[in-house]
């Protein structure tokens, strides 16, 4: 995973989800993924790129569902990758499955 200090995505956990995502002002995008998931490995680099490109404008995070099952369960994430979009802490949109970069960027622009 890219380093959040360098504009990459934040590592989101059950412990920091409330502060980092629900407490974020404006738009936040969270990639729910797992190491063993092939489609997740396709989407991961796209999420990393978008985190850098929209750094300072959109909070971008990645949550490993195996290590953080409570948050995945709370948001009814049953298939991965799932990308959830939050505006001011509330879910506003979801994309399930491997989507190309333009689909993710379209959602960012739609909700930003």
**Catalytic residue list:** 37, 40
Question: Terminus-to-terminus CA distance in the chain, angstroms?
Answer: 24
Strand order in the sheet with 10-12: 10-12, 59-64, 27-33, 82-87, 90-96
Give the DSSP H or E segment for 16: none
Please check whether residue 88 is in contact with residue 23, taking contact to mean a CB–CB distance below 8 angstroms. Answer: no
Give the integer Cα–Cα distance in Å for 97 and 112.
22
* DSSP helix/strand/coil, 30: strand
């Amino acid at each position: 995973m890219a380093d959040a200090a360098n504009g990459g995505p934040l590592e989101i956990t059950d412990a920091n989800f409330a502060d980092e995502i629900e407490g974020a002002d404006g738009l936040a995008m969270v990639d729910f993924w797992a190491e063993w998931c092939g489609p997740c490995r396709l989407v991961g680099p796209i999420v990393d790129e978008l985190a850098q490109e929209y750094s300072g404008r959109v909070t971008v995070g990645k949550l490993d569902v195996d290590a953080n099952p409570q948050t995945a369960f709370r948001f009814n994430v049953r298939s991965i990758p799932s990308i959830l979009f939050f505006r001011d802490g509330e879910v506003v949109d979801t994309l399930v499955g491997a989507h190309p970069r333009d689909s993710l960027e379209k959602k960012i622009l739609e909700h930003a």
